[in-house]
């Protein structure tokens, strides 16, 4: 079954986002691009919010965000109910974010990770599955925290 994700970047992540599209095609992940569409300066929370809200509404199961450090996008996305965005700087972190934390958004640091490593991280994240089991109750506790603070 083909997976379809929501994809976005700010100006710092624009070029990397365009390169990542080829990797997504290679692994059979379809995507809708929520912008930005150039390297002109934009505010990263606007793009993180678009992706996160689309996931929260159930329009997409997963998303991918790219900014300079990956951190700003992840912080913004994690403010939206039901989103578990993880910053990953290597394949293992990406895989564990999916397997153990059921992360549904990958946030990447365009300025800090070489292109070839970015592609490996994307493949690791989008080909890994949540393992459930003992990890399920931990992810449920995250949802409880979210519910108690809304």
CB distance 94 to 88 below 8 Å: yes
Task: Verify whether residue 135 is a known catalytic residue.
Answer: no
Give the list of residues 6+ apart from residue 109 with CB closer than 8 angstroms, or none.
67, 68, 69, 70, 71, 87, 89
Options 11, 67, 112, 135, the catalytic residue: 67
Give the list of residues 6+ apart from residue 131 with CB closer than 8 angstroms, or none.
99, 100
What separation in angstroms does the CA of 13 have from each of 5, 44, 99, 139?
17, 10, 25, 29
Task: Verify whether residue 11 is a known catalytic residue.
Answer: no
Task: Determine the length of the chain.
Answer: 150
Options 11, 100, 112, 135, the catalytic residue: 100
Tell me which residues are annotated as active site: 67, 100
């Amino acid at each position: 079954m083909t997976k379809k994700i929501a994809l976005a970047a700010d100006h710092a992540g624009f070029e990397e986002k365009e390169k990542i599209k080829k990797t997504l095609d290679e692994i059979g992940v379809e995507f809708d691009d929520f912008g930005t569409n150039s390297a002109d300066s934009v505010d990263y929370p606007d793009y993180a919010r678009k992706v996160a809200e689309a996931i929260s509404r159930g329009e997409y199961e997963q998303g991918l965000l790219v900014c300079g450090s990956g951190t700003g996008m992840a912080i913004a996305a994690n403010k939206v109910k039901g989103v578990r965005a993880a910053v990953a700087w290597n394949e293992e972190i990406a895989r564990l974010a999916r397997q153990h934390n059921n992360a549904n958004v990958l946030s990447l640091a365009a300025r800090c990770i070489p292109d070839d490593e970015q592609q490996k991280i994307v493949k690791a994240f989008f080909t890994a599955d949540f393992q459930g089991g003992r990890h399920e109750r931990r992810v449920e506790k995250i949802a409880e925290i979210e519910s108690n603070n809304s």
